Amino acid sequence: MTFAGTNGGEGFELTMPKQWVKRVAPYLSMGLAVVSAAAAAGRLAGFPVPDVAGRAKEFLDKSGQELANLRGRA
């Protein structure tokens, strides 16, 4: 398994209203934390949770950091 290449690996840019970010950021942050914890718990319990060569945790951590930065700017 691999992550899908988006825009030649460069990703893309989103434009969101600041009020929307302020209102929704806590829920997105909580969702990322729950998914990360569930993946870790699943691995500890012995379930075959794919990690895609360690990049899934890296992606979740980076997403959380980006969300915190976006919320701070809003």
Q: Is residue 52 part of a domain?
A: yes
Q: Is residue 69 part of a domain?
A: yes
pLDDT of residue 47: 83
pLDDT of residue 1: 57
Q: Is residue 60 part of a domain?
A: yes
Q: Is residue 34 part of a domain?
A: yes
Q: How many distinct structural domains can be found in the chain?
A: 1
Q: Is residue 33 part of a domain?
A: yes
| Structural domain harbouring 38 | 29-73
pLDDT of residue 33: 82
DSSP string covering 57-74, please? HHHHHHHHHHHHHHHHH-
CB 15 within 8 A of CB 43: no
CB 40 within 8 A of CB 9: no
For every one of its 74 residues, what pLDDT tens digit does the chain have, with 9 covering 90 and above? Answer: 566 677 776 777 778 788 887 888 888 888 888 887 888 888 888 887 776 656 667 777 787 788 777 777 76
Q: Is residue 66 part of a domain?
A: yes
Q: Is residue 40 part of a domain?
A: yes
Query: What is d(CA 5, CA 11) in angstroms, rounded to the nearest whole number?
Result: 8
pLDDT of residue 70: 76
pLDDT of residue 9: 66
Helices marked H in 5-54 = 18-44
Q: Name residues whose C-beta falls within 8 Å of residue 28's C-beta, 6 or more positions apart in sequence.
A: 67
Q: Is residue 35 part of a domain?
A: yes
